Amino acid sequence: MKKFLFLTLFILSSSASHVPADSLPVAKLYADHCATCHQANRLGGSGPALLPENLGRLSKKNAEAVIANGRPATQMQGFSDKLTLAQIQSLVDYIYTPLPTLPVLGLADIKATAVVHNRLETLSPVPIYSADPLNLFLVVEGGDHHITVLDGDKLEPLTRFPTRFALHGGIKYSPDGRFAYLASRDGWVSKFDVYNLKMITEIRAGINTRNIAVSADGNYVMVANYLPRTLVVLNATDLMPLQIIEATDDQGNSSRVSAVYTAPPRHSFIAALKDLPEVWEIPYSPKADALPVYQGPMHDYRMESGETPPVDKRQFPVRRMKVGGYVDDFFFDPHYLHLIGAARDGGKGQVINLVVGMKIAEVDLPGMPHLASGITWNYQGTPVLATPNLKEGVVSVIDMQNWRVIKRIETLGPGAFMRSHTTTPYAWVDMFFSPQKEAVQVIDKNTLNVVKTLRPAPGKTVTHFEFDRHGRYALLSLYENDGAIIVYDAKTLEEVKRIPMRKPVGKYNIYNKIRYDSGTSH
């Protein structure tokens, strides 16, 4: 741990007082324009790490264009009106310069960061409130880094508590809904007791973290990291680290981990690698089918401390599936037999059969589909997947039997999120990356037509939907510092009420999440 702290302090100081005199101007440019999102040490915060190890898929020329013009479908703004071409080029050279040494976060280091806030044996085994514990929402408020616990029946807050900086929106729950697992962009994983409305424990499992997943048996949490380039397995009970899996191929080439999700019927985690054309399956239960055992590099805190690990120590093997291209995000079919993946810079989606472990089809998905926000339903007796598009004003509806696009539904502009519920005939989609970001559109799942356009706050951004467990209400985020959760009647599409919030990012209904409702993301 001392080695990790020393190295972190060294990197922090290297961008300030230890920068050579002739590099001070670019260091100041970085501090003034980049550090707020990407951190002074370039290790990433609300924005990704800016290191050559993380920029392998982006040429220097393209990096110049991103700094100048911004990046579509992200919060990266353009700086062409603030910086000269020479300044932009100097910033590109700066971020493509390796750090003296990349920080190492081994199992011993992770274990040393653990913080215990409350002990479970001292807390109530049943909810301390009268609200339906499965019809609660946890609402992530990005404006001041808090979470509000919202009663989905009364539509009133139960409590509000602070979180780590730049919390990732994708909250995960234990199978019974009692515990919520949170992940911040700087690698902190937190366990919150929903029954007692108290934080239990926290641990830092990464430096620049993408997302987390919870196994369907409730025993493990998997952490996907951009930096270090690892997957980390935690014990879900106390968040103690069990294993680190290096994200490398069989030639030793490393990759950031794009995302990890659980596949309940397969008793496994599925992870995609951002810089390698591979998808991995990691079983977590003896019920999983036998898979090839991963033989790559691993770390174990007992090995690091010099102890000999027991012979019967169960590891988490990795089944490597080499696919037709990069996978930045993905979606499962309802039976978890297929994975539908796409790269942010590609024009085709690929269908990977998880049984045989190979690509079996391509899907025509132009622009930048946001498959992680896809939803499914039955359309005229056929299971379909619908996905919004981060770059084009279109929702693609895909037949999951032949993998053909049934229809491209035109919308007012590019959007990030799409939601529905099994009890409603409607699907909702936002226009988050469009000049029309004040609008949301409602699609009839039976006709595949837009039936209504709502503008609940003209001139302001609205995004992200979630339904209560019964499908009675659709909740929408007014994504402003003086924002709100806007509640609609899911049948009449009329507004019910507004609940003030500080820039609500996302809201996650416990019942829908633990039941993997087809209308919500997983």
Q: Give the CATH fold of the 2-95 domain.
A: Cytochrome Bc1 Complex; Chain D, domain 2 (1.10.760)
Cα 450 to Cα 15: distance, rounded to the nearest angstrom: 51
Which residues have CB under 8 Å from 130's CB, separation 6+? none
Cα 382 to Cα 227: distance, rounded to the nearest angstrom: 41
Q: What is the pLDDT of residue 6?
A: 37
Residue ranges of the chain whose pLDDT lies below 70: 1-24, 45-46, 53-54, 56-57, 72-74, 169, 289-314, 345-346
**DSSP code for 305:** T
**DSSP code for 312:** T
Q: Phi, psi at residue 20, to the nearest 5°?
A: -55, 150
Say if residue 22 is exposed, middle or buried (CB neighbours under 10 Å; 0-12, 13-18, 19+).
exposed
Angstrom CA distances, 287 to 98, 185, 234, 367, stand at 44, 32, 19, 39
Domain range list for the chain: 2-95, 104-322, 366-522
CA dihedral (21, 25, 30, 33) positive or negative: positive
Q: Tell me which residue of 216, 193, 195, 1 sits closest to 105, measured CA to CA.
A: 1
Q: Phi, psi at residue 35, to the nearest 5°?
A: -65, -30
Q: What is the pLDDT of residue 71?
A: 74
Q: Tell me which residue of 391, 393, 399, 386 sits closest to 444, measured CA to CA.
A: 386
HEC secondary structure over 469-520: CCCCEEEEEECCCCEEEEEEECCCCCEEEEEEECCEEEEEEHHHHHCCCCCC
Q: What is the pLDDT of residue 433?
A: 93
Helix 24-33, helix 85-95: angle, nearest 10: 90
Cα 113 to Cα 108: distance, rounded to the nearest angstrom: 9
Is residue 190 a contact partner of residue 163, using CB atoms and an 8 Å limit? Answer: yes
Angstrom CA distances, 37 to 75, 262, 433, stand at 10, 29, 19
Q: What is the pLDDT of residue 73?
A: 53
Cα 181 to Cα 170: distance, rounded to the nearest angstrom: 9
Residue at token pair 């191929």: 249
Q: What is the pLDDT of residue 441?
A: 98
CATH architecture of 104-322: 8 Propeller (2.140)
Which residues have CB under 8 Å from 411's CB, separation 6+? 388, 393, 394, 395, 429, 431, 441, 450
Cα radius of gyration rounded to whole Å, the chain: 23
Angstrom CA distances, 15 to 26, 53, 93, 113, 233, stand at 10, 18, 14, 25, 32
Angstrom CA distances, 137 to 133, 173, 345, 415, 505, stand at 9, 11, 33, 23, 13
Angstrom CA distances, 402 to 279, 363, 383, 445, stand at 22, 10, 10, 19
How far is CA 88 from its chain centroid? 29
CATH for the 366-522 domain, from 3.30.360.10, 2.40.280.10, 1.10.3720.10, 2.130.10.10: 2.130.10.10
